[in-house]
Amino acid sequence: MRVSVKVKPSSSRQKVEKIDDNNYSVWVRAKPAEGKANEAVIEVLAEHFGTSRSKITLLKGRTSRQKVLDIDV
């Protein structure tokens, strides 16, 4: 399943908020440097969907706050 994610890095909390079927907002504590925020987003989404991190692939938006990910649930 493909999802669009709006990332809010450097947050005081980590959470996932569902906007609609394929759009989510994700807050992560990690700073957007050296891919740390991307790793944190994958980790938070894996926990939210109950799957492993290896089943989530970042397709678009490596340096953007708006990302598209493929999740193999």
Half-sphere exposure for 5 (CA within 13 Å, toward CB): 33
Whole-model pTM: value is: 0.93
Domain locations along the chain: 2-71
Q: How far apart (Å, rounded) are the C-alpha atoms in residues 25 and 46?
A: 14
- The whole-number pLDDT of residue 73 equals 79
Given the DSSP bridges, would you call strands 15-20 and 66-71 parallel, antiparallel or unpaired? Answer: unpaired
Query: Per residue in 13-67, pLDDT tens?
Result: 999 999 999 999 999 999 999 999 999 999 999 999 999 999 999 999 999 999 9
- The whole-number pLDDT of residue 24 equals 98
68 neighbors 3 (Cβ within 8 angstroms): yes
- The whole-number pLDDT of residue 16 equals 97
Which of these CATH numbers, 3.40.50.11400, 3.30.1200.10, 3.90.79.10, 1.10.1370.30, describes 2-71?
3.30.1200.10
